[in-house]
Structure 1
Amino acid sequence: MIIRKMLQNKWLVFSLFVGIIMSVALVSSMPIYSEGILSRMLKKDLERSQTVTNQYPGSVYSSFTFPSNRPDRHLSMFDQVDRVMKNDAASGFQLPLQEQVTDLVSASLRFKVENDPEPKNKFSATFKSYSNLEQHIKLKDGRLPSKQPVEGVYEVLVTERALVEFDAVLDTVFVIEDDRIAGTMKIKPVGVLEKASDDELFFRFGNLGDMNTSFIMPFETAYQLMLQDRLIPATSAGWYTVMDYSKMEYRHIETYLSTYNLIRTTLLGQVTLYQMKLDAVAYDTIELYLVRAENLNLLMWALNVPVMIMLAFYMFMVANLIAGRQKNEIAVLRSRGAARWQIIASYLVEGLLLCGASVLLGPFIGAMLTKVLGASNGFMVFISRVGLPIRMTETAFLYGALAALGCLIITMIPIIMATRVSIVDHKQQMARLVKTPLWHKMFLDVIALALAIYGLYTFKRRLEDLQALGLNSTDLNIDPLQFIVPALFIMGSGLLLLRLYPWTLRLLYWVGKKWWPPSLYATLIQVGRSSSQYQFLMVFLIMTIATGVFSASAARTINMNTEDRIRYGNGADIVMDVTWINDAPPPPVFGGPPEQSVVQPAPEKINYLEPPFEPFLELPGVEYGAKVFTKEDAFFSAGDSNGTVTLMGIDTDQFGMTTWFRDSLLDYSLNDYLNLMAGETDAVLISRTLAEQKGVEVGDAIQLGWEGVSSQPFRVFGIIDYFPTFNPLPPRSLLQSADSTEPAGNAPMLVVGHLSRIQLQLAMEPYQVWLKLKPGATTAELYAGIEESELSVTNIVNTKEDLTLAKNDPFLLALNGLLTLGFVISLLVSFIGFLLYWVLSLKGRTLQNGILRAIGLSVRHLIAMLAAEQILTSGVSVLLGIIVGNVASMLYVPNFQIVFNPSSLVPPFIVQIEEGDLIRIYWMVGMMLTIGIGILGFMLSKLRIHQALKLGED
């Protein structure tokens, strides 16, 4: 019976199944996407760490120092730790093992050449031994040593540098002269070793530098002499494990940290904290990623809340349509003696079948969504990049099961409500078309708006504290509700507008009731008297369209503000530091000959020779260039005020063409301010922080200089709030606690003047070279040009590289991916819901439409009446959705800046609503309405009057 009922309502059941499976896919994609994006970023960060520190991130080194007063315990200590390192630790990291090296180091011993009576030839050295060393070296001279003494002499290897240090050659016999050695022990180097290849991971420091004062003994020999026979005092033992970090994913972090703690616990079980060493290169990066993972998961849930609420409305609407179509059947069953639990159980079985299938398929669809999200490079922008590491986990299926359970509960609510109605009550409800919806009775619209407004007020207060005190977003608790309140605002606004909408229809009907054509007159009566029938559809469309607009605005805003912050902070496409020839004394050479270690006194003033600027303008791809001088610790005096400021010197014409600046930051464009000061060489612009804190005004004289340079007069021509690279927000005081309400010290201050005047009257000091690249120019060409021109560049800030790094940040990737997903799902679900509702509504009004045709209304008028009905319901809903989405964007998109560091959000966070996104929404909605009207018109054209009237007789 259940299967037959599902087949009879196959389109409704299919629509419900689509909603459930999309919900399960969306929720199950969260852990898959979170793990994939963090795995990618973890790998990238480890690669960057290797480039910066020149240390292999997949290496872990642990060692301990043997207690000198208990040599009898050395062997057991080593064996216990070695057993853990080679068994539990090696497999515990769950990464491909590349190398595993065990080393033993002896105490420093005194040596001399055999039969050499000269005491001056004595020297100190240690014995070192490495497991499997022979497989990773090649002999530059000599041969491999024997593992057993040859004629009472122990053979060893040395490096070429060690032979120089020991002032010896191969096959020289050395004798140990040390009180700790019983009897006579002879050593003979028989081979000179070097690395087998340059990319060997076997050597901890990448070279043989730590062997240059040691004799390298075969590991088996060292183990016997130092630990078993205790003939040579052992100092330390170490274990060097190298793993393929490129295979490390987020799922390995927990096992990595647990194995790290196992090694630490094992070492602490043998020695004290001061006698052990544990160095895992990737440990700090992994600890940071645990925090990032937690924040990312919180952000993903918050971003998905509006979409999940929308899907919940969709499923409730479809379930309500199913229940509405089957209310008569349910009422008949109740009148024939069926118990409520029996009816509910039959629908529960149907829901379990749909939810069970969704749990099986949803996570795999979620994995496909994750692949699409991984290719996002911005909102609705996809590029070809290496795919995210996708892995189906138990967590994904658990999340999917929980989502399916929530869907089951939502779909059962209308059924449970329908079973409470008897057949008499059902007939009475069918006769009463006008009824107040439940959410209006409970004032859910007012409650949702009140919560949303309170959340907005709380956010504004929190953001003001963050920026005024110079705090980071981590200094105050981030409330996840700050990301959920937009959904409450959208829902509350939609419900409130629908509360007022029937009154608007009545007013519209009253204004033109004498002039409306029959089709519009009938439509106004139909919609006005049956407004409650359209409530679900209208709320659903408002929420989906508003969610789409909000998602588009949020993604565009975050992307544009991130790019603006980087461009503003850098100042130009390329910023270079250049070497200037000067007469400053060279830095002292410590550790060299005494005559080189003498520190020469610095002159009172360092003289610089300015390098030629034209070669920079001739580099490939350069469009404009500018000289920018910055002095962080300059000082000023104006009237009774004085203090420290940042002084910038620029050439106004070159600077205006080279720099990037958002015009909306100032009252006038930046070029207007530059033109204002261009006519006078002593003109300067000052920051508003300087004007307000020190009382300096336009027209005042101001003295500028710095240490060792006499002050010179300038005149204030203008006051600016922002200037490229200048952050006017106060830094957080190092002595200020997070809960302090005191101001965080004075805000930074800036003075901008002419570079030529500063160089002429103050001093000639190095400046930066700012470059603007031509459209389409590549930095590779620029770098090649710098190398070919042999320009002495010490540092380069590349804005394009910084933008690429920012776009690869897991938070931005998650934001772009999830907001894109929310936008696409909103449009898709709204189209399915719209079409489904109207097709079912039209089928339900077949008799009414047949009667209208029978009394003389043409098909054209019927379609016009239907079109007007759609405009008054779906069209108005779309319009309200766009309005609500834009208002929600203006109010709540600024919430996203609290995820970043508000004290460094310069330029200020502004809401961006891209025209292309709105056009895309209008186009999709227009296509949806057009297709819907076309399908409904086709259905009306196929209507036969005799069939409709026969249906009424039945």
Structure 2
Amino acid sequence: MALFVMIIRKMVQNKWLVSSMFFGILMTVALVGTMPIYSEAILSRMLVKDLETYQTDSQTYPGTHWTLMGFYNEAPDKRNRAIDEMDAYMERVAKPGFGIPTLELVKERRTKSVKLVATGRQTIKKNSTATIRSYSDLDNHIKIEDGRLPAKKAVNGVYEVLLTSQALSSFRIVLDQELTLQDDKIKGTVTIKPVGIFSKKNDDDPYFRSTNLSDLNSSFVIDSELFDSAFIRGNEVPVTGSGWFFVLDYTKLNIGNVENFMNTDKAIREKVKTRVAAFQSDFSVPALGTINKYFERSKQLNKLMWSLNVPVLIMLGFYMFMVSNLIVDRQKNEIAILRSRGASRLQIVLSFAAEGIVLCGIAWILGPFIGLGLTKVLGASNGFLEFVQRANMTVRLNKDAFVFGGIAALTAFVMTLVPVLLATRVSIVDHKRQLARSQRMPFWHKAFLDVICLAVSIYGLYTFDKRLKDLKALGLKSDDLTIDPLQFVMPALFVVGGGLLLLRLYPYALKLVYWAGRKWWPPSLYATLIQVGRSSGQYQFLMIFLIMTIAVGVFSAGAARTLNNNTEERIRYSHGADFVLQSRWMNDAPPPPAPGAPQPATPAPKVIHYLEPSFDPFTKLDGVEHAAKVFIKERASFGTGQQTGMATLIGIDSDEFGLTAWLPNHLLDYPYYEYLNLMAADSRAVLISKSLADQRNVKVGDTINVGWDGVDSQPFVVYGIIKYFPTFNPNPPVGSVDASDDASKANAPMLIVGNLSRIQFQLALEPYQVWLKMKPEASTAAFYESIKKKELPLTSFVNTKEDLIKAKNDPFLLALNGVLTLGFIISILISFVGFLLYWILSLKGRTLQNGIMRAIGLSLRQLIGMLALEQLLTSGVAIVIGVLIGNFASELFVPNFQIAFNPSSLVPPFKVVFAAIDFVRLYAVVFIMIALGLGILSFMLSRIRVHQALKLGED
């Protein structure tokens, strides 16, 4: 207890340093703790969103699990025992084992398909067969369209059943008609009587496995308890199957229970296969494919998040080492005296270790809770230092937050002990000698850490660029080549290496400035240059600190803005306009055959004639600024000389298209409208893609014949060669090429752009798309309402704005924006604390010097000016270096982030983007930090009393 009191007193004596150290440890634990918390929250949201998308696209409820166990020649006792065991297993083990609420557990039984024979004078479709089925709790999910519910027991030896209207029509029977079941395994006579027609009570009820009850078109449904007593226990009709259908609340799936879902699915399969042969079982789990993709995406997301935090974690390590070094520096004299009086190194280290254990222990307890709050900041981020109102993520503390927080606290503990271990090696004599030699080269310069970090980062950049070129040229996915996660660590190494290298050169720059104006500098500037030049080693921790903060901030801003901007451009480019509509065209094509009907004997005509609908209503829709007709033929044939091939043909009206379509000018050699003006001059003019020109050696001025299946080719003249055009992706399709040198050229897609009027007149009139550009203030709801009022017969509809919103909510962009923003905020907080701490200690250490300067006649304003100049030569220079390195790092390393996506689909090409607003936010935060710090320091200077400072010197 006495030792603990001594440690607390020691901490109180150094309260500012200890508080700063604790703040750094706490922020480190909190930041690391946010990773598992945020991962769970965002991955859970991602999984549910993916399942919701699956439900929308497939019209199938994804939260279901279907198991069917079939029976063939099993003895009735063995069969019944297997059904009872599986019933108990599903209810007691599987149901709670999924880890999410079970909405329904439907037990389905079915008999062998048996022949139906009408009794008396009644008739039935010849050779009709059917199965008898039962479903648990069916009455609560159906409505009777005609007739009534069947009795729950046999009536005069007849089993009453239900059926669908489709089954009634298929069997060609009527209600209350008795039918006899015939089969060589049925003993005696079994008669059924359909008494009611049923349908779903709710169309979207997931209780039913099929959306339209199509699986019951050749079945009758009997009461479940009656089926059990008469057919399973009574063996009146052979039972060939028993199924269990779970309807689960998939919205409750998260990273914590998805493993339970997978394990329970695996356990059910193994359980069933121990009861029947493998071919006698059937399983259907719609969510399984989505969950498997989710695991892959979660790995990529975790890798991305941890990689993005590497620069911040490195900076936090620097901070803790700096503060620990300051604490030890203030106590080096005491440590040296203790060593000279017989204290062992272990005893001294243990005294500091006890202090570290207290700080790290408290930080470990509090850190995850602070991380929980920081996670909410991540969820609200919509860009770098940009926040929006978004639906709150479900976040919770998990054990991984404390595990990772504990690892971070342990690492921080080790970092704080490193300066102590170094200090205990110094005797009192060595300590005094070191004080006399203040200008020592820092360790990182002696070890050439700057050169090492730069070399590793540049090598990493070179290897990454080579791999990325292979990905694009060969049309591969990012998973097709092994990507080293350390590629995302390279920017941090580059920032550290570049900062240290410039700091190595900075003292020489100071000496040059001092030498150049040594005859003209005023006393205040002269004193400041001497102070900074002779004590450059003291400032280097602070300067590398600020360099890392600003460089990481600039890099973060560039990365976030680039990824957001490129994602938006990719979506706009792939769609071409704000809205893309396809209207129904009247034509003479024969109607498609009904499902199950034989194909018509007369083949469909090779050429279909269309009647063009009116285009004018589209131009008058609410909010529309411009509208354009765009004809797209995916597989058009072309020929030029001896060369032929297939290309995508796009027909446009150049004027309307130029006003409507979206294409940034930086993609082409000349402004976009100049190419359209070329086409407008001649109706025969076409633009071709660079891929077509390269593959078929076509030049401007050549004639190219274009047509398609059933349409004769017509001549056109090449007026221009372009690499990009709205909706056109010039990269090889994924998996379309091998590793040969010219494979990418031979498989790159090709494009021809012509005048729509000539295509329609000389080739054929076929349906075209309608592209719309909306007014900036246009309301989407009003636009939809106007479409409804005009009753436009649309067959397809693409809303670019809606897809942009979906992209903004993509887990990868959410994580990237959130992590970069949070990392920068923490960096600024830590830097501000470190900045204040350093200068406060510096001023306190120079109290005598400042008092003497006041005594010899320098005014307070001159002292503050010297302090401001000193900050300009240290903090100001560090900020400038940080901006330069951050910009350079962004240009070099931000393109690395496209590996998180499919590089072959990134059209337009990935381009590093900087926005002025990002730098305004960044510099505003930094300016506030420095101005606040300078204000506090100026206040401290104004409180210095000359007589107190001089008295301190006498003491």
TM range (shorter): over 0.9
Residue of structure 2 equivalent to 1:663: 665
Secondary structure at 1:473's aligned position in 2? coil
Equivalent position to 1:648, from 642, 647, 650 = 650
Letter in 2 for 1:655: F
Equivalent position to 2:161, from 136, 156, 159 = 156
Letter in 2 for 1:706: W
Indicate conservation of the 8 Å contact 1:490/1:888, yes or no: yes
**Bigger shift: residues 417-426 or 28-37:** 417-426
* TM-score normalised per structure 1: 0.96
Q: Are 2:726 and 1:729 equivalent residues in the alignment?
A: no
Alpha-carbon separation, structure 2, partners of 1:113 and 1:246:
48
Alpha-carbon separation, structure 1, partners of 2:416 and 2:601:
83
Residue of structure 2 equivalent to 1:627: 629
Residue of structure 1 equivalent to 2:206: 201
Residue of structure 1 equivalent to 2:97: 92
Check 1:58–1:120 CA distance in 2 against 1; reply closer, same or farther (3 A cut): closer
Indicate conservation of the 8 Å contact 2:105/2:244, yes or no: yes
Equivalent position to 2:505, from 500, 504, 523 = 500
Indicate conservation of the 8 Å contact 1:113/1:121, yes or no: no
Residue 146 of structure 1: how far off its partner (Å): 4.3
Residue 142 of structure 1: how far off its partner (Å): 5.5
Indicate conservation of the 8 Å contact 2:122/2:177, yes or no: no
Q: Are 2:284 and 1:283 equivalent residues in the alignment?
A: no
Alpha-carbon separation, structure 2, partners of 1:19 and 1:144:
72
Aligned counterparts, 1:738-817, within 5 A: 743-744=743-744, 745-817=746-818
In structure 2, stretches of 5+ residues that fail to align are 1-5
Alpha-carbon separation, structure 2, partners of 1:118 and 1:715:
72
Indicate conservation of the 8 Å contact 2:384/2:918, yes or no: no
Letter in 2 for 1:846: T
Alpha-carbon separation, structure 2, partners of 1:276 and 1:656:
59
Indicate the RMSD between aligned Cα atoms, in angstroms: 2.0
Alpha-carbon separation, structure 2, partners of 1:190 and 1:636:
65
Q: Are 2:132 and 1:131 equivalent residues in the alignment?
A: no
Alpha-carbon separation, structure 2, partners of 1:606 and 1:143:
51
Residue of structure 1 equivalent to 2:55: 50
1:660-694 deviation digits (Å, cap 9, x = unpaired): 11111112210122123322222222222222222
Residue 798 of structure 1: how far off its partner (Å): 1.2
Residue 927 of structure 1: how far off its partner (Å): 2.1
Alpha-carbon separation, structure 2, partners of 1:298 and 1:117:
71
Indicate conservation of the 8 Å contact 1:638/1:702, yes or no: yes
Check 1:691–1:872 CA distance in 2 against 1; reply closer, same or farther (3 A cut): same
Q: Are 2:310 and 1:308 equivalent residues in the alignment?
A: no
Check 1:304–1:741 CA distance in 2 against 1; reply closer, same or farther (3 A cut): farther
Residue of structure 1 equivalent to 2:848: 847
Residue 793 of structure 1: how far off its partner (Å): 1.1
Alpha-carbon separation, structure 2, partners of 1:297 and 1:601:
55
Secondary structure at 1:176's aligned position in 2? strand
Residue 818 of structure 1: how far off its partner (Å): 0.5
Q: Are 2:265 and 1:264 equivalent residues in the alignment?
A: no
Q: Are 2:376 and 1:371 equivalent residues in the alignment?
A: yes
In structure 1, stretches of 5+ residues that fail to align are none
Letter in 1 for 2:89: V
Secondary structure at 1:684's aligned position in 2? strand
Alpha-carbon separation, structure 2, partners of 1:168 and 1:686:
64
Letter in 1 for 2:438: L
Residue of structure 2 equivalent to 1:468: 473
Secondary structure at 2:743's aligned position in 1? coil
Residue 698 of structure 1: how far off its partner (Å): 1.9
Residue 571 of structure 1: how far off its partner (Å): 0.7
Check 1:797–1:776 CA distance in 2 against 1; reply closer, same or farther (3 A cut): same
Check 1:611–1:166 CA distance in 2 against 1; reply closer, same or farther (3 A cut): closer
Alpha-carbon separation, structure 2, partners of 1:647 and 1:188:
62
Alpha-carbon separation, structure 2, partners of 1:924 and 1:86:
59
Residue of structure 2 equivalent to 1:543: 548
Equivalent position to 1:571, from 546, 571, 576 = 576
Equivalent position to 1:615, from 595, 614, 617 = 617
Q: Are 2:462 and 1:457 equivalent residues in the alignment?
A: yes
Alpha-carbon separation, structure 2, partners of 1:348 and 1:139:
78
Residue 480 of structure 1: how far off its partner (Å): 0.7
Check 1:702–1:133 CA distance in 2 against 1; reply closer, same or farther (3 A cut): closer
Alpha-carbon separation, structure 2, partners of 1:117 and 1:242:
41
Letter in 1 for 2:531: Q
Residue of structure 1 equivalent to 2:585: 580
Equivalent position to 2:35, from 30, 34, 59 = 30
Alpha-carbon separation, structure 1, partners of 2:170 and 2:716:
64
Alpha-carbon separation, structure 1, partners of 2:822 and 2:327:
28
1:764-813 deviation digits (Å, cap 9, x = unpaired): 22211110011132333222222211112110111111111211111111
Indicate conservation of the 8 Å contact 1:99/1:241, yes or no: yes
Alpha-carbon separation, structure 1, partners of 2:183 and 2:362:
79
Check 1:865–1:386 CA distance in 2 against 1; reply closer, same or farther (3 A cut): same
Alpha-carbon separation, structure 1, partners of 2:348 and 2:895:
49
Residue 379 of structure 1: how far off its partner (Å): 2.2
Indicate conservation of the 8 Å contact 1:144/1:157, yes or no: yes
Q: Are 2:191 and 1:186 equivalent residues in the alignment?
A: yes
Indicate conservation of the 8 Å contact 2:103/2:247, yes or no: yes
Indicate conservation of the 8 Å contact 2:588/2:610, yes or no: yes
Letter in 2 for 1:27: V
Equivalent position to 1:480, from 479, 485, 491 = 485
Indicate conservation of the 8 Å contact 1:486/1:888, yes or no: yes
Residue 827 of structure 1: how far off its partner (Å): 2.0
* TM-score normalised per structure 2: 0.96
Residue of structure 2 equivalent to 1:425: 430
Alpha-carbon separation, structure 1, partners of 2:124 and 2:345:
106
Alpha-carbon separation, structure 2, partners of 1:368 and 1:822:
14
Letter in 1 for 2:652: I
Check 1:139–1:631 CA distance in 2 against 1; reply closer, same or farther (3 A cut): closer
Letter in 1 for 2:299: E
Residue 535 of structure 1: how far off its partner (Å): 1.1
Indicate conservation of the 8 Å contact 1:469/1:741, yes or no: no
Alpha-carbon separation, structure 2, partners of 1:609 and 1:439:
77
Indicate conservation of the 8 Å contact 1:527/1:869, yes or no: yes
Indicate conservation of the 8 Å contact 1:143/1:190, yes or no: yes
Residue of structure 1 equivalent to 2:3: none
1:569-593 deviation digits (Å, cap 9, x = unpaired): 111111112222222222233544x
Residue of structure 2 equivalent to 1:255: 260
Alpha-carbon separation, structure 2, partners of 1:393 and 1:38:
14
Residue 700 of structure 1: how far off its partner (Å): 2.3
Indicate conservation of the 8 Å contact 1:552/1:823, yes or no: no
Residue 327 of structure 1: how far off its partner (Å): 1.4
Indicate conservation of the 8 Å contact 1:541/1:878, yes or no: yes
**Bigger shift: residues 631-640 or 426-435:** 631-640
Residue of structure 1 equivalent to 2:403: 398
Q: Are 2:707 and 1:702 equivalent residues in the alignment?
A: no
Identity of aligned residues (%): 58
Check 1:566–1:331 CA distance in 2 against 1; reply closer, same or farther (3 A cut): same
Residue of structure 2 equivalent to 1:352: 357
Alpha-carbon separation, structure 2, partners of 1:756 and 1:121:
59
Indicate conservation of the 8 Å contact 2:125/2:171, yes or no: no
Alpha-carbon separation, structure 2, partners of 1:439 and 1:711:
71
Equivalent position to 1:225, from 210, 230, 233 = 230
Alpha-carbon separation, structure 2, partners of 1:121 and 1:724:
59
**Bigger shift: residues 808-817 or 702-711:** 702-711
1:452-495 deviation digits (Å, cap 9, x = unpaired): 11011111111111111111111101211110000000000000
Alpha-carbon separation, structure 2, partners of 1:41 and 1:803:
17
Residue of structure 1 equivalent to 2:945: 944
Alpha-carbon separation, structure 2, partners of 1:79 and 1:315:
64
Indicate conservation of the 8 Å contact 2:124/2:171, yes or no: no
Residue 70 of structure 1: how far off its partner (Å): 4.0
**Bigger shift: residues 714-723 or 832-841:** 714-723
Aligned counterparts, 1:913-924, within 5 A: 913-924=914-925
Residue of structure 1 equivalent to 2:928: 927
Letter in 1 for 2:430: D
Indicate conservation of the 8 Å contact 1:588/1:599, yes or no: no
**Bigger shift: residues 107-116 or 832-841:** 107-116
Residue 496 of structure 1: how far off its partner (Å): 0.4
